[in-house]
Amino acid sequence: MRAPRSLRHPPIIITVLVALAAPAIGMRAQSAKPPVDLAGPTGPAGRAAARWVEQTLRKMTLDEKIGQLLVTSLNATFTSADSEAFQKLQHLVRDVKVGGIHVFGGAEAFPALMLNPTYGGGGASRKGDPYAAAAMLNRLQRDAQIPLLTTADFEGGVGYLLNGATRLPRAMAIGAARDPDLAYRAGKLSAEEGRALGVVVDFYPIVDVNNNPRNPIINIRSFGEDVSLVSQMATAYIHGVQDGGMIATAKHFPGHGDTATDTHLGLAVIEHPRSHLDEVELPPFKAAIAAGVGAVMSSHIALPALDPGMVEGALQPMRSPATLSRPILTGLLRGEMKFDGLIYTDSMSMLAIAENVTPDRAAALAVKAGADQVLHSPDDDAAFRGIKAAVASGEISEAQITRSVERVLTAKARMGLHLAREADLAQIDARLGTREHQQVAADLAARAITLIKDDRNQVPLTLPKSANILYLSVLDYASGWREGAPSRAFLPELKKRWPNVTGIEVSDRTSADELDLVRALARRSDAVIVSVFVRIASYSGRMDLSDRQVSMLDSLAAGTKPLVAVLFGNPYTATFLPKLPAVLLTYEEYDGAESAAVRAIAGEAPIGGKLPISLPGMFPFGHGLDRPATASHAAR
């Protein structure tokens, strides 16, 4: 397939921050980079932007400069102007003069005790509303003396956070599809939709090399375990994002792929020597920098080979994580790797930091280490005071603060925010979730599906339409589903092909008697189709099925009837279900992946995905069985 233009030619780097000048917010992003004489530092637009940066910086007080280093956050839900939440945001924008706003989806708080755990078990994230997000950003942009550099984690496209936008498969599915053109198109459409909402920085792609099967937080968010594959797909995605008008971000520096700890829950440590880091973790970041990536996000991971020190002023003895490490952020990233774009911290509210260092001290240490933007502090006012106190004591020089602010302002100017900072609300419905964008998402989901086993040659299923099918929806646990009920797309799509379907949900709460009933129903059915959902989610730390669930699936696999299993989410689940005769991987858990899986099982689409990881004890990297679409099923 023909490679995208930005892969065929090296990008024209017009600043140290981004490889393009984006159109003003509210205008349609152009598919091609602007001519150098207009966008470059020697052209009229570039000179005007540089003058704005210089004039703005010259007028700023120290307090205003410190404010620019902070990025607070909002939920993309309706928020009254009279609410405490909105007034707090106004205070941070008007008084603290924060430099940016990070957009989350929705959130609902649930007490951890006394309530049905299916509600959320202490808290639950939900998707937000695109109009609410854009309107809130517009209101805050109007309140800001200096335009806000807005950010979001569009890891699965804008639709991962906001209803109605395009939901894309995440990185591992893209790695399984093995198509740089699709990776580029995914990045570009995400940027086009993000800019329509007024968001200018995408905290994506993840360039971590996931070489630890027990990684509970990166996993399917990585393109895979192969350094070359990760570098290739990340580079294509970066070009797509930045051609689409946003700043792309490579994360989590210097590599989060070989950990077994979720840093939302605790500090992770990687003990590898520098030689291993140079061979595995660092090359994708070098590729991203060479591709002109505009930002890099640090990780809350300690790497003694890069910095053996301890955190000064921590609440308890603590090895220095990359986010708080000057040898890593300034010495390695700035010095050795010559990156001069924006350095963001990961969320400072994650427990790896928040449980060990106070918000004021954590912010000061991050800036001292070399971060330009302190993201999502648990207390932005305290973070401001901490940085200011560090400057007053001489721990951080004002010159360093000024250099960071200059990078921040330059990014804002290159995104056109000094000219137009508000989103055009009237254009949102025309630019989000378009049929063209949805087709890219569907193509990626279909191309990602990987058939790793078909011992009985059962895929695609060639059952008559009258067949009685038992469908099992096997869940890791019943709570915390942020994208609707599992199997909500799979089951109705299955019934369109085979109307006589009995559907049963099996979770970690299913009793032994109920599992016996499942076995009895399987004996009476013509075939069994199983969907296994094992999620990778922040603050979960879980990535397994219960022993009873595994035992049930093993007993079903011992039968002779057709049995096909589809694994949604964690692909390493296959390693503790080795007895299943036919297994497909989707690397995801949302409606689009479910629909693509049914089409593959029914023979309506070819299967050709290749493992972007190895499955220890089972299959190597690159394994995958090919199946053509069958004409008889494709005609249905």
* Domain CATH code at residue 213: 3.20.20.300
Q: What mean pLDDT comes out for the span 478-489?
A: 82
Q: Report the C-alpha gap between 117 and 43 in whole angstroms.
A: 59
- The distance of Cα 259 from the centroid of its chain, to the nearest Å, equals 17
Pair 370, 458 in one domain: no
pLDDT digits (tens, 9 = 90+) for 581-611: 999 999 999 999 999 999 999 999 999 999 9
Q: What mean pLDDT comes out for the span 544-557?
A: 94
**Average pLDDT value for the chain:** 89
Q: Would residue 337 count as lying in a domain?
A: yes
CATH code of residue 453: 3.40.50.1700
What residue type is assigned to position 109 of the chain? A
Pair 17, 158 in one domain: yes
Catalytic residues: 264, 346
Q: Would residue 118 count as lying in a domain?
A: no
| DSSP bridge partners of 627 | 607
Binning the chain into helix, strand and coil, the percentages to the nearest 5 are 40, 15, 45
Number of structural domains the chain divides into = 2
Q: What mean pLDDT comes out for the span 196-207?
A: 98
13 confidence band (pLDDT: 50, 70, 90): very low
Domain boundary among 431, 459, 478: 431
Pair 166, 84 in one domain: yes
Residues with Cβ within 8 Å of residue 146, at least 6 apart in sequence: 56, 64, 68, 97, 99, 409, 412
Pair 357, 461 in one domain: no
Pair 271, 329 in one domain: yes
pLDDT digits (tens, 9 = 90+) for 360-376: 999 999 999 999 999 99
Going 575 to 581 to 585 to 588, the CA torsion angle's sign is: negative
Residue 540 has pLDDT above 50, yes or no: no
Q: Would residue 170 count as lying in a domain?
A: yes
Residue 518 has pLDDT above 70, yes or no: yes
Residue 9 has pLDDT above 60, yes or no: no
Q: How far is CA 621 from CA 181, 211, 278, 616, in A?
A: 21, 11, 21, 10
Pair 175, 218 in one domain: yes
What residue type is assigned to position 251 of the chain? K
Question: What is the predicted pLDDT for the residue at 536?
Answer: 78
Backbone φ, ψ for residue 531 (5° rounding): -110, 125
Question: What is the predicted pLDDT for the residue at 604?
Answer: 97
Pair 545, 609 in one domain: yes
pLDDT digits (tens, 9 = 90+) for 99-113: 999 999 987 665 555
What residue type is assigned to position 157 of the chain? G
Q: Would residue 571 count as lying in a domain?
A: yes
Residue 624 has pLDDT above 60, yes or no: yes
Residue 481 has pLDDT above 90, yes or no: no
Residue 541 has pLDDT above 80, yes or no: no
Q: Would residue 136 count as lying in a domain?
A: no
> What whole-number percentage of the chain has pLDDT above 70?
87
Q: Would residue 320 count as lying in a domain?
A: yes
Pair 484, 404 in one domain: no
Q: What mean pLDDT comes out for the span 519-528?
A: 96
pTM here is: 0.90
Residue 253 has pLDDT above 60, yes or no: yes
Q: Would residue 119 count as lying in a domain?
A: no
Structure tokens belonging to residue 175: 């790695």
Q: Which of these ranges, 30-44, 48-62, 344-358, has the smallest mean pLDDT? A: 30-44
Pair 469, 571 in one domain: yes
Question: What is the predicted pLDDT for the residue at 15?
Answer: 33
Pair 427, 507 in one domain: no
Pair 323, 423 in one domain: yes
Q: Would residue 436 count as lying in a domain?
A: no
Domain boundary among 431, 458, 489: 431
Domain span holding position 426: 5-59+68-113+146-431
Residue 37 has pLDDT above 50, yes or no: no
Pair 391, 459 in one domain: no
Question: What is the predicted pLDDT for the residue at 267?
Answer: 83
Q: Report the C-alpha gap between 247 and 267 in whole angstroms.
A: 28
pLDDT digits (tens, 9 = 90+) for 376-432: 999 999 999 999 999 999 999 999 999 999 999 999 999 999 999 999 999 999 999
Domain boundary among 431, 460, 491: 431
122 confidence band (pLDDT: 50, 70, 90): very low
